[in-house]
Amino acid sequence: MNQCPHCRDKAISHFAKVTSRPADPAVCPNCGGRCHVACHSTLPGRIANLSVVAFPLLALGGLFVTGNLWAAVALVASIGITAYAVHVLALLNSPLVATSEEGVEDASRWLSAFALYVMVASTITVLVVLYRHHAP
Ligand SMILES: [Zn+2]
């Protein structure tokens, strides 16, 4: 169990901690306070963020390096699994920080920006795949 930053009680489960996001914080069963993993202020948190952001870029890089869609998929899958494991480990080692209603709203805006980034990155990846398959 992890310590709640509001009431200092070890009430937050590992699952609640790992799945907590600034836009969707964990709620303390003891005091009802909201908290999430410190994603921007600690080294493990930064590694956790980076492994998610790097994933579409690695997919694109793998495709360029191998020039083969299935080899790229295999490469990306292995990198992805490693990145995900690093991500979860980093999240578990990152402390919980308190958040409020305002913080959740702010984070929701960032989440929309991140969703847009993932959409653009996947679109570019698909376009590159199509281009490489049709290029002479
Ligand atoms: Zn609490």
pLDDT digits (tens, 9 = 90+) for 80-125: 777 778 778 877 888 888 888 777 777 778 777 887 888 888 888 8
Confidence of residue 7 (pLDDT cuts 50, 70, 90): very high
Distance 51 CA to ligand 1 centre (A): 29
Give the pLDDT mean for 29-50: 78
CA of 65 from ligand 1 middle (Å) equals 49
Residue 55: phi and psi, rounded to 5, are -55, -55
Q: In percent, how much of the chain has pLDDT > 90?
A: 16
- Tell me how far the alpha carbon of residue 101 lies from the centroid of ligand 1, in angstroms: 15
The 10s digit of each residue's pLDDT in 31-41 is 999 998 876 66
pLDDT for 136 equals: 60
| 8 CA from centroid of ligand 1 (Å) | 6
pTM of the model: 0.59
How many angstroms separate the alpha carbon of residue 27 from the centre of ligand 1?
8
How far, in Å, is the centroid of ligand 1 from the Cα of 12? 8
